[in-house]
Structure 1
């Protein structure tokens, strides 16, 4: 199954930090500002800063009040974003205060719905993720007078004590979001030409670094090298996701060395149904999933299996996906028992044909010669060992 995920690189992090730079003034007459007047002021985090806001007021009581409110939220107190810390406090404050104001200013000047995409990028960085400095970053490839309009809007907010100047960074970006999207699409098309229907892949671009990540489970070394030669100016990062798909002619069914065992097996889920090219598994340590699998005819109802999927699972119940490998686990048959675990599970499925049962645990009671099956809804089924 092909799994193409083109992740928009303009990802806004949940936690965004705020510490920063010293501000300087610029003229407010936008007509006098030309593209080549935006010179590099300094470098922060390896990026060329071309404009700054001035922290014109000493107290920002309105901003402080909102920042304190973040510390009483359950997201902070219950550690949803991580352990409470000074860094996390700053991250959450910038997310709630400077972030929305800066985004609104950019959209007012450049237009909403991706108006900045052809001019530059916008992203957040936070200390919780390891950034040396936190804040919201506005990057422009070829800045013009519109940047001054953004600065004027934001400076008014700083002067009013609504936001701080420090967490807002304005820099010269080497690329625009639109350019990154184009690069991403070109790489995705090239990967798709190498895709033969076995396995899956995803292509995403990082707005901050411009790196294009290719997640896959089928690209061989020579194919990766071919892509690198095809796109010498792109930063490609290959991530193998799980095992590589089986080679042509190689089975994707992993059989046990011994099909039977007297030791209870705890791993895997139970095959509840098989059909031409698909099977349904649920219970045990596996979720309820209907898998597409060309070798489903090699599986039998009741077997305990472990499944390695390829690509994403469709959110339904049962979920739907594609199996890359299916490992058949040894069939548990206690000493002295007439039936094996797989036979018991098959029998339980047959006896409950009108009911979708999910078996969480199977155990055998030798004194009564009875198998006990515990379902996920806490029901208990008993099957006589005969």
Structure 2
């Protein structure tokens, strides 16, 4: 998986906040409109209210720092995408102008929390398709601090340490603090709509202010109701997998045929089931304990595919909730006495107490027709083993 281009400094990609009354300021550095803080121009549809001046033709320090980005491991190995001049400049802005602008913003506005109450800050990259890439500093209600911000940054442009062009100061329609508050209110509303085993992800887009919700339980009428609670906000809903089962409906998917004489490779194996939990491991599934209300209807040894609801904790074994459990057809070769699930049950009896984790991770199962033997390739405490079970 390719990495995302981010600013390593301060763990910040997004800042924000709520504003003060509009005031004017004289222009000591850069360019600021008159006392009404009128728009200088529009860039990418945003109202630019102040600009830095590119006062020097050459910036050797900045160029040196930019070249260093192209020599980095991340750039050469393509961790953020294919190495291109566009990627190199995106990385340079985030490594040079980005930290400098963030430091100036925090100094002028009283730290991270101070700027949350004044505006937003984000990056847009050429590699993501931005027409005007750079660092964007949005202020909802600009005051004299905008001039102080210019006074902090312009000397660094004059000294050739940073470029003026990638830094945009604009009038933001919202603040990060406002977005956080909106997100909390929407979360409270969602809690009242959430059903058992349903899950959702919620965020408010810093740039657009759109409320983005991915879910597996919200019906169209609930989505409409949610929009009605926040009539002046825009929502984007995205369904995450299948919708959870309705009350009274089973979340267990039964195969059309109980047995098959064709080997099955999909799914993992139920190693334990009961008391509202199942433990599934091996095959094509990871080792995970799932909360599942219908656990008592499942049997140890069954091969299943699990659709999780929400995230999986990264402990070993993992922990999560199962939305659906699909039982795979039980492999029973022609002439065999045992089915695959029955053979797995015998292997699990052997594993009891022998592994530090208390279980084998079954990687592969095959049936030797001539020897009437089930062959298991398993992992036990990071050691590969082969086990044989007689077909009787």
Counterpart of 1:372 in structure 2 is 375
Whose relative contact order is higher, 1 or 2, with alpha carbons under 8 Å and at least 6 apart?
A: 1
TM-superposed CA distance for 1:114, in Å, is: 2.1
In structure 1, distance between residues paired with 2:337 and 2:343: 10
SS in 2 for 1:113: helix
Counterpart of 1:383 in structure 2 is 389
SS in 2 for 1:189: helix
1:245-260 matches, within 5 Å, as: 245-260=244-259
SS in 2 for 1:311: coil
Contact persistence 2:280–2:286 (CA under 8 A) = yes
TM-score by length of 1: 0.91
1:323-376 superposed Cα distances (whole Å, 9 cap, x missing partner): 000000000011111211111111111101112211111111112222111124
Counterpart of 1:28 in structure 2 is 28
1:60-71 matches, within 5 Å, as: 60-71=59-70
Contact persistence 1:373–1:382 (CA under 8 A) = yes
SS in 2 for 1:383: strand
Aligned pair count reads 364
Contact persistence 2:33–2:40 (CA under 8 A) = no
Contact persistence 1:34–1:144 (CA under 8 A) = no
In structure 2, distance between residues paired with 1:150 and 1:112: 13
In structure 2, distance between residues paired with 1:26 and 1:374: 76
Contact persistence 2:278–2:289 (CA under 8 A) = yes
1:255-310 superposed Cα distances (whole Å, 9 cap, x missing partner): 00101000000100000111210000011111111000000011111100000111
TM-score by length of 2: 0.89
> In the alignment, does 2:25 pair up with 1:12?
no
Contact persistence 2:264–2:331 (CA under 8 A) = yes
> In the alignment, does 2:165 pair up with 1:159?
no
SS in 2 for 1:194: coil
In structure 2, distance between residues paired with 1:232 and 1:36: 34
RMSD over equivalenced CA pairs, Å: 1.9
TM-superposed CA distance for 1:312, in Å, is: 1.4
**For structure 2, which runs of at least 5 residues remain unmatched after alignment?**
1-10, 15-24
Contact persistence 2:195–2:217 (CA under 8 A) = no
- Mean Cα displacement is larger for which, 44-53 or 365-374? 365-374
SS in 1 for 2:248: coil
1:145-202 superposed Cα distances (whole Å, 9 cap, x missing partner): 1111111111111111111111101000001111111111111111111123331122
Counterpart of 1:81 in structure 2 is 80
TM-superposed CA distance for 1:250, in Å, is: 0.5
> In the alignment, does 2:350 pair up with 1:344?
no
**For structure 1, which runs of at least 5 residues remain unmatched after alignment?**
1-9, 14-24
